[in-house]
Structures are given as structure tokens and as C-alpha cells.
Structure 1
């Protein structure tokens, strides 16, 4: 517990240091050169340096100072950030003890916008041993340099001088002398070393405690039944749960939402059923828990030439009013419908969300290619027991149209995912009411399970732990991820 608290406090302290102390407004200055040039001026190769004068007389013992002014904080410095009176044009003053200023010039601007602060001469002047610098706005890391020619003051003795002094202040920050540095700062090395020690300590604690099961583990055996569309997620989540909790066993038999609910109705504890949508009437003992926002899609054989169908076109197709794809702009192929058997949650979602509650007609063909003997003429219809069987049949049948859970449909080759009314099957479109073919995936239990049971633990795992990531990885969303989570709730 103490180590966990320690692991929270350290990042917090580091954040305070980084953003409150280190990151406030800070103006830096650096003396990059301070040298006597007497021998150079007297040399025959002095060139323009011979012209250094003060009051018309050549400089007798001149020195040159190159000063760099920089914003080395983490925020922008504006003209009003300088700690001076509002009507002052001067932001900083630089004093050179024991010397007089003969002249100065700005030699380098990191950004062109800095030029405006120096062109009119306001706040940029020299007087005695002082240089006055203007209130210059500076972006982060911006800098400028000032080269000053100095003469020894009257009465000054010695060959060396005290370093320049920068006079001024920054509101809410400070002015600091900076230095050229190479390598990694000692503070950074110390911080990294400290964090390494902390990580190693946490790893040792983890390894020592790794023999115990996670806090929410449960043991026992759980039978899982229901939706074939949700089956891949259930199997992946059960495998993951088993690895974390070795004492858990799962018997997974997913044959459809309807069959799963019927099996749960006849059982008691130890059975969990998943359904695409709400249970039918007449099952008051079954309690629902919203697990995921589940997207479905229409899938077509590519030879149909159809990529988008309006809701009314879909309803006319399933009513049998349209029999050939050319009637709605597709290719000259007969329409063949591949559906799920009655009791399928996916079929119920299509009827409820897309067909306006109208029941889908029964099948009239076993192979989806030829009608059964005695079948009435019209659209050819066949039914399959699972999502994967529907997808395989549509992919193998020219002119076929079917429906499936989105994640399964996206992973199948040889299929066209059909938009509805111009809208693709996405969580955003469905969440905002523009894509109609979706349903809430419910986990049903027979009464309220014991909080310590494998049933309750696995349901929590699906919604709050790694299971939620598994749901997302399969193209669906936990209900909590929605902009309007309430639409997942039972009506």
C-alpha cells in the first residue's frame, strides 16, 4: 500500500516541478564574450576596430562584450510581463562595473518579429555604464544578442572587470544567468535514477505477489449460451479470463439468442446467456445486463453491383416486391436472400430495426440456388444457423444478400458491406440515429447471481476490464463508451 502511494506521489511531485517551478516565465542572459582588444586595435590588421571611439577620441583600452538575452522558460513573454512601469519603454538594463559604454549593436535575432523592438530606437540606448534594452516580446526559446564596445572608466585600475549585471524583473517569473551546457543535466540523471529504483522495487513486489490470483477472480464452471454473433467475443474473453484465473472453466455453446434464452429459462445458477436484443415476453425470471452496443450490416455478393440501399428498398426486397438487382440500379441478377433461422437475435434485430417490426418470410430453398419443390415463385430465400454460415453462403452465391454482425462481416473476403441510406455501419452513425441496424447485446442470468460467483465476475470482466477492450477490438463498443449510454438500456 505504501509503495502504491509512493508511486502516485512521485509523478505528482514531478508534474509540480515541471509545470509550476520549471515551466513558469523565465528570461535568461548569457555573457558569451568579454575580452580586451587593446592589442588588436593597435595592430596593423585591426581594420574597422581602429574606428572605435568615444567622444571623438579613439578608445585607449577597449573591451568587447557579447551578451545573449533568451526566453528559456516554457511560456511566451509579452511586453507587459516586464516588471517596469506601464509607460516605460525600457525592459532591462545592463550595467558594466568599471567601464563606460562607447557603442552597441544588435548582432543576432532568432526571429524576424524581434526586429520591430529595435528599429525605432525607443528603449535601446546607452548612458555611462548602462545599456537599456526595450520591452521585447519573446516566444519560447527566442533570443537576441547585443555587442557592446566599452572603455575603461576613469580611475579604474587592473586588467580585469566585474561581470556585467542585468537589472530588471519578470512578473510571475524571474531573470536568471544561463550557461552553455553539454551532456545530461545532473537533476535529470538523478530523477531517472530515482525512477529506475522505483520501477525495480515495484517489479519485485509484483513478482513476489504473482502467485496469487487477481482480486476479482472466481472459480467454478460456467455454461455460456446464446448469440452466435457474440460468440467470438465470448470465446476470446473466456480464454483471457482463464489465463488470469486458472480455477475458472467455461463451457461455450452458442447456437443463437433464442435458443440461449430458452436454455437459461430451463436452468438455474451456472448458466449465462447472451442475446442480440431484449428477451421475448414470458420470461420474467431472466435479468438483463447491457454489455455492448452491437452493430450489424447487410452483406452482398459483389456481383450484385449494389453498395447502398435505402431503408424502403430493403423493405421491398424482403417483402418480395423486388426480384432482380437491375430494378434498383444493380446488375442483371436475381435477388437471393440468405437469412438466419427463427430465434436468431440478428434476425430479430433486422426485423425490429430495419423492417419496421414486420416478420421476415420463411425460406423456400435449402441451397439458395434452386427453389424447393412446390415453392411459390418469387425471391429465393434460405436460412442458416450461424453468422459464419450466412457469410459463407452469401460469398458463394451470386446475387445473394444477407446480414451479419459487423466485426464478422468485415473479416470475410468476397463480400460487399452495404450502406443503409448512404450511412456506413459505424458507432458514431448509429449513436446519432443515422444508421438503423444495431442492437444492444445483453447478458441474461436466471435471477441475481451471487456477487462472488463466476457468472457475476465474468460479467464484470466484460464491462470493466480486459473484456471491454476485446469488445472494442471486434468493432463494437461497451455501452459506457457511447455519447448516449442510455440507449443501451432495456426499454
Structure 2
């Protein structure tokens, strides 16, 4: 197996090269470095006569003896290494006071001054018998101890040497600096340096190298994304059916999975928990291998008679009761809610609300939400049959004193409650939160919430199960989607719709609050 990875190699290379460059610059090469710059080298005679030449026209070697073809040179000597330089670092004999000698081919030095000291501690190095001298037209500079970054400047007046000629307009030959530093750059010579007015070529080369590394890595990453899908991606077709309460989560998860794994085609077809379970059971019996590419989601456990359907807890789903604004109620006890739904109360004024008839909006008998409501809030009692189609007027001859209607989906129920004066219904919490015009009813003073359910104070919740027909092949799209739904991305989607992922509960296997209490 080829274990060489270009992305890892480039990453290591991008780290190693700058480290080596830094070590080379500051540890090896730059450990001790003394350099010089020629900041000025120009003639002192005028090319065009000026009335203001003054002293510049009177440069003299002796009275009435002017300098021959005079010129000025300004030299800067600097410690541009990483450590300080001591007197003993100069590559001369110990008893030699001179550390550096500077000559000028074709010219001789007529005089000099030290014009600038970066630090006052440099001054004693040039005073007294320090070694600062001009001998035979050559500048002699003392062995100056210099800390890192220290510098001094020397201004010299020169004239053309005897027997030398220079054509007008020609440049002078550069100065020759003779000296060395023990353990310095290369052979220890004192190199010519340049003012740092721009970016150094090695720096530009290093930046270009790093940019090339980054661009190459980006290209490899994009190529890898184009050539291969993420590790847990699966292709094929998958149908998601069942709970309408869980429909928003399923649609968001399906869209996200398709974006991550383009080879997957996922259809969401939610018609209710009971219908979804029945469709899955039927598809499993009809499939030639008994492994249909289908998952059914149910609010609560399956009914008896479906032995081939295997459950997997996915989320704790919260539900809530919603009322029309004209009802004038905000909080009911479980006993009052049961009295409303079994027909013992017909007007909200009987419960301290507005004088408005009570109208009940429920779900069809195959709805998982309805079954949760009956089991958790009505203490197992069934809702009576519908007495109305429009939720406002009872059917003629109906014996039930309360107007009851049913709707096939969560959205239709919420719309019906919002449009019907005095109506009350129930829905999944995330969907109810999307209807700002519908007050959510508290149960015994508690709003729908995981914390209240955890402490047994809020009864209207249920486990959301994902059902498969038998065991799923590990490499199937259905198994991959279930793993996706329960990982970090899927958990975020579940939370966004008002549910709580089972993995975040104290007992994720049962997907129950830690201390559930029986509802009374």
C-alpha cells in the first residue's frame, strides 16, 4: 500500500525550510558579523562653478597647497550579527591596536573624523592611543567592541594619488576594507552590506517558496475533494418516511447529507408514524433480499405485530398544546386537559378563560403525535371521534357536545387552531415555535422543555425512533444516514428543531429522562 502522502510531505517541508533558514541566518552565518556600508563617495570639486563654493573650494593639504582632485567618503561600520563583538574577536595579533584598515585605490587619505557613534560606550575606543590613525594614505581603525546593532561612521577627505589620472565623470574604484572577525561570516571577512530600504532577496525567495507550498497544498486538497467522498459516504437511493413531527429534521438532514455525499438520492415522504411503519413493513416483505432501502421514523414505540422492524432511539421529542388566542387560557393541569378532551367542558369560561366555545383539533388515528398525546397526557384514554370537518360547526346529529376535527399533518393542525376561535390542539414543539400567533399552553405551570421533562414535571414528550426492516448492512446508505444523523452534524440539526439528541441524555440507550415520573 502506498503510504506516501504529498500533503504531509509539503506540510513538513513548509515547516522545516523556514526553521533551517532561521538557524542558518541567526545561529550559523549571523552568529558574528561585522559589515560596512559606503554611504557617500563623491568628488569635492565643482562641475559647474558656484559662487557659494566657499570652503569646499579651499580644501588644502597645507597652506596654499590645495588637494588634488579632492573627494569625500562616508563609511559606516556596523555589528549586524546575532552576538556582540569584543576586542579579542578581531583577526589581528593581540598587540596590534588596529582592527580594520581601509585603502582607496588611486587615492590617498588627507584626513578623517569619526562623525557618528550609535552609543556613548563606543567613544573611548577612539580616544588617546586607540589605534585611530592615517598612515601612508590608509585609514586605520581600532578594535572597537560593539554590541549587536551598534555602529559608527567615518568621514574621510581624499585626493588623487600621485601619478594617478582620472577622466572626468568616471567613478572612483571602491574602497578596500582589510580585516576579519574570528568565527564570523564565511572566512571572517568584513563584507559590504546594503541599507535595508527594500525586501531582501532571500526573504522574497522564502516567501515565494511558502506561497508555492500553500498553493500546491490547496490544489491537492481540491483534487482530493473532487476525486473522493468523505469516509462514511454511501451512494444509492433511500426513502425516509413516518413521523410528520420529525419531518423538518429529516429534510434538513437529507439535504445536508446530499451536499456531503453527492452520490446519495434521499426522498423524504412523511405521512404519519403508523403509516410509515406499515409502509416499511410492507416494503420489507416485498423486497427480494428483505433489505429495503427505507427508514421509518415514529413518535414512540411501534405497535405489536411488526416483529421485523428494529428500533434505534434517535431523539427525545418534546410536544406542546397550542390554543387559539381567543380562548383566554395559558395554563391547565393534566386533569383539566383530560376534562376538556373528554367533553366535560364546552366553554373556556368554565376554566376561567374567555366566554368562547371549546373546539378540539386533533390528528388522525395513525398519527404518532396523537398516540403520544393519548399515552402521556390523556393517561391512555383515546380521543373521541371527529364531529366536524371545518372545525367550527358540529355535524348534524352529533351526540358529542364538543366540536372536534382532525387534520393529517402538524402544519395543517397548527393552521386550523390559529384560524378557529377557541380551538386547542397539540403539535411537536419545534413546529409550534414557528407559529408566533399561537400561544403554547403550560401544563401545571411548566413550559415544554427538556429540563422540565428531566425532572418529571412536564409529561408531554416521547422518544423518536428510527426503524429499519431487519439489520442494516454496514455499508448501506440507510446505515450511513443513521450514523450521520447521530453524529455532530445531525445532533445540531436535531437541536435546531427543538428536539434533544439521545446521545446527550443520561441514558442514551433508553433515551429517557433520568427520573421520569408517572403522569397523574
Query: When the two structures are superposed, what TM-score results if normalisation uses the length of structure 1?
Result: 0.59
Question: Secondary structure of the residue that 1:488 maps to in structure 2?
Answer: coil
Give the match for residue 369 of structure 2: 346
Cα distance in 1 for residues equivalent to 2:457 and 2:424: 22
Q: Give, in angstroms, the shift of residue 485 of structure 1.
A: 2.9
Give the match for residue 209 of structure 1: 224
- When structure 1 is superposed on structure 2, of 422-431 and 206-215 the one drifting more is 206-215
Asked if structure 1 preserves the Cα contact closer than 8 Å seen for 2:320 and 2:429, the reply is yes
Q: Give, in angstroms, the shift of residue 374 of structure 1.
A: 1.6
Larger radius of gyration: 2
Q: Give, in angstroms, the shift of residue 375 of structure 1.
A: 0.6
Cα distance in 2 for residues equivalent to 1:435 and 1:4: 53
1:319-368 deviations in Å (ceiling 9; x for gaps): 11111111111111111000000010000000111111111111111111
Question: Secondary structure of the residue that 2:279 maps to in structure 1?
Answer: helix
Give the match for residue 312 of structure 1: 335
Cα distance in 2 for residues equivalent to 1:407 and 1:333: 28
Is 1:226 matched with 2:263?
Answer: no
Cα distance in 2 for residues equivalent to 1:369 and 1:330: 19
Cα distance in 1 for residues equivalent to 2:217 and 2:341: 61
Give the match for residue 246 of structure 1: 262
Return 5+ residue gaps in structure 2 as ranges.
12-206, 285-291
Q: Give, in angstroms, the shift of residue 6 of structure 1.
A: 12
Aligned CA RMSD, in angstroms, stands at 2.7
Distance 1:4 1:436, change over 3 A: farther
1:357-368 pair list within 5 angstroms = 357-368=380-391
Q: Give, in angstroms, the shift of residue 483 of structure 1.
A: 3.6
Distance 1:215 1:335, change over 3 A: same
Is 1:291 matched with 2:307?
Answer: no
Q: Give, in angstroms, the shift of residue 431 of structure 1.
A: 2.0
Question: Secondary structure of the residue that 2:366 maps to in structure 1?
Answer: coil
Q: Give, in angstroms, the shift of residue 199 of structure 1.
A: 8.1
Q: Give, in angstroms, the shift of residue 203 of structure 1.
A: 4.7
Asked if structure 1 preserves the Cα contact closer than 8 Å seen for 2:238 and 2:267, the reply is yes
Question: Secondary structure of the residue that 2:451 maps to in structure 1?
Answer: helix
Q: Give, in angstroms, the shift of residue 247 of structure 1.
A: 1.0
Q: Give, in angstroms, the shift of residue 206 of structure 1.
A: 2.9
Give the match for residue 181 of structure 2: none
Question: Secondary structure of the residue that 2:415 maps to in structure 1?
Answer: helix
Return 5+ residue gaps in structure 1 as ranges.
8-192
1:163-182 pair list within 5 angstroms = none
Cα distance in 1 for residues equivalent to 2:211 and 2:491: 32
1:394-423 deviations in Å (ceiling 9; x for gaps): 000010000000000000132001111111
Cα distance in 1 for residues equivalent to 2:214 and 2:354: 63
Question: Secondary structure of the residue that 2:445 maps to in structure 1?
Answer: coil
1:400-439 pair list within 5 angstroms = 400-439=423-462
Distance 1:328 1:483, change over 3 A: same
